[in-house]
Amino acid sequence: MASAIVELRSDTFTMPGPGMRRAMAEAVCGDDMVGEDPTVNALEARMADLLGKEAAVFACSGSQSNQMAVWSHCRSGDELLIEETGHIANYEGGGPAVLSGVSCRKIRGERGGLNTALLNAALRPPNQHFSPTRLVCLENSTNIGGGATYVLEQLKAIRTWADEKQLLVHIDGARLFNACIARGYSAREVAAQADTVSICFSKGLGCPMGSVLVGSRETISRARRARKVFGGALRQAGFPAAACLYALDHHINRLAEDHANARFFAEQIAQIPGVKIAPHEVETNLVFFEIDSHIGPGAAIAAALKERGINLYAIAPQRLRACFHLDVDRAGAERAVVGLREVVQSGACVAGIHAGGNY
């Protein structure tokens, strides 16, 4: 454990360890805006190769790289299709509308995922009354959808459908490597089903910041302009890029540990009366569960757990989320189980209000 606190609010709370800090301190830097930061260049080249794309661009965050993709693929007045819980449509400050003049057509899917039948039913015909549909945005793994992952054949089917409809595909891969570990496929196999893919390094990979967007040379050239327009010009960015390179070498395979701890937590809390959860649905590092209303509101549960040194988010009146990552080991998962059991059984909950956060 990195500290006495069991931090389950998000994998964005991870802290860089000694090896990552050393890599950052020793990074060779230059001016990225003129293409002269060798560490950034190395990261971009490695990511393009890893995902089988022509080019890549380093960005400050997953939200920024997602919005760079939307700006690059669409024109003002266009529409994108996305599952109703998708991060791009819900947790990026209205970015598609604010930055690109693009509207989001939300589709109710299953655990954050879409299929060709749902997409086909939502696709508007060409008509002057409608916004032209330009882009399909998928999330793998899903966030609010419960950490679920796409089957590769499902992604291939969506890719084929999009090609037939002359639509582009972007994958928000904030936790893509979690999906790869869970499903046993490669990032390259997933990226082959999309025009662009964003990877966030500040979540399960444990970096302090950073994201990479990959795609064709033409698309990434446009995305670089979007980064500049959005105020994301980077200079000596080799320091955070070095952390990302370190994470690629050391933090991908170990994601399996986070998945195992998440499943352990889910299986244990399923035995607590008043807690509703389907442990078999826990595929990656995210655990969502419901608390019976007679026990207390989710926000009050979260507040009572915080007093015991356990942090997690209440994301709805009775729904909570726990996120497992490299700073939470099995002992931390066990502490969280004990803490939740004590809170639920003792009735140590008071009226509270919903607390939001950076998911």
The mean pLDDT of 261-273, rounded to a whole number, is 98
Instruction: Walk across the sheet containing 55-59 and list its strands.
Output: 55-59, 211-215, 196-200, 168-173, 133-139, 79-83, 103-107
Residue 358 has pLDDT above 70, yes or no: no
Q: Which residues pair with 172 in a beta bridge?
A: 139, 198
CA distance 182 to 110: 18
Domains of the chain: 16-250 (3.40.640.10), 254-346 (3.90.1150.10)
Quick one: pLDDT band at residue 2, thresholds 50, 70, 90?
very low
What is the pLDDT, as a whole number, of residue 3?
54
Answer for the pair 328, 275: CB distance below 8 angstroms, yes or no: no
CA distance 59 to 198: 10
State the chain's mean pLDDT as an integer: 95
Residue 357 has pLDDT above 60, yes or no: no
| List of long-range contacts for 289-295, beta carbons under 8 Å, 24+ apart | 289/319, 289/320, 289/322, 290/318, 290/319, 290/320, 291/318, 291/319, 291/320, 291/344, 292/318, 293/317, 293/318, 295/344, 295/347, 295/349
Specify the 3-state DSSP secondary structure of 39: helix
Residue 269 has pLDDT above 50, yes or no: yes
Q: pLDDT for 182-224, tens place per residue?
A: 999 999 999 999 999 999 999 999 999 999 999 999 999 999 9
What is the pLDDT, as a whole number, of residue 351?
42
Quick one: pLDDT band at residue 354, thresholds 50, 70, 90?
very low
